[in-house]
Amino acid sequence: MNYTRENIKDTKRIVVKVGSSTITRFENGSPNLLRIEKLVRELCTQKGEGREVILVSSGAIAVGRNSIGHDKPSDDLLIRQGYAAIGQGRLMMIYQKLFAEYGQTAAQVLLTMEGLDKEETKNNAIGTLKTLLRLGSIPIVNENDTVSPYEILYGDNDTLSSIVATLVDADLLILLYDIDGFYTDDPNLNPEAELIETVETLDAKMFSMGKDSSGDVGTGGMATKLSAAKLATEAGIPMIIANGDDLNNIHRIMNGKPIGTLFLPK
């Protein structure tokens, strides 16, 4: 079967990843409650339509540093891990409250990339995630930054989200970013850059178009999203990169609308 946007309407299990730039404010890292509420509402709508939903959420470091009055990011890894420890609880408190207001139960799952390399730990993660879905809850996954620095240094949960999608045999992975999708060049620097609506094959040319992010809030640039797309599509899972500034894009995507860039599954 040739995969098309129309196939998305039949999706039953989705993983949605939001970066720090989507749910926190750039200027100081404070949680953007309006955005988070819209995100929760969109995910609850998908749940109400009979889909299973997993959220992979960044933002703990930004929320943590904001909660203790530090407006500027730090380059000190231990400080950032401390921010994560403070911010993760606050972020989950926000999620728990908002999901409960829409009649849904959120569950926190903290994973490490190193742990998922071990067969026993990986199987435990699979069992827990699938059990939570069977129980009707919405797992909220984040890297356990307090003990593992991988996502702090490299990925802003992009890689983790694709791994989670493969662990639970997801039907679709959605990465919400701060631009409309994957472009032929950085649209912030090149006004002639063109949005690529569909990527059939991720080759060296595609990766050469990816640009790393130098933003203050998140750490994941387009390069890490392409790596996530490679992991997901090679596992047979389609992936979409779309703009998280408009969270209505979630239901537009699920309705088969041509939003963002669709990476076709192998």
pLDDT in tens, 226-238: 999 999 999 999 9
> What is the overall mean pLDDT for the chain?
90
215: three-class secondary structure by DSSP? coil
Strand (E) or helix (H) holding 200: none
Domains held by the chain: number: 1
- For residue 214, pLDDT over 80 is answered with no
Evaluate the CA torsion angle 181, 257, 12, 32 in order and state its sign: positive
pLDDT for residue 188? 81
Residue 250: give its domain's CATH number: 3.40.1160.10
What is the phi-psi region of residue 260: left when phi exceeds 0, alpha when psi lies from -120 to 50, beta otherwise? left
Instruction: Tell me: pLDDT of 218 over 70.
Output: no
What 8-state DSSP symbol labels residue 183? B
Q: Which residues face 195 on adjacent strands?
A: 183
The reported pTM is: 0.92
CB 178 within 8 A of CB 21: yes
Backbone angles phi, psi at 249, to 5 degrees: -60, -25
| Total residue count of the chain as it appears in this document | 266
Residue 128 phi, psi dihedral angles, 5° rounding: -65, -45
Q: In which domain, by residue range, is 84 found?
A: 5-263
DSSP annotation of 179: S
Which pLDDT belongs to residue 148?
Answer: 67
Q: Which residues contact 100 (CB under 8 A, 6 or more apart)?
A: 106
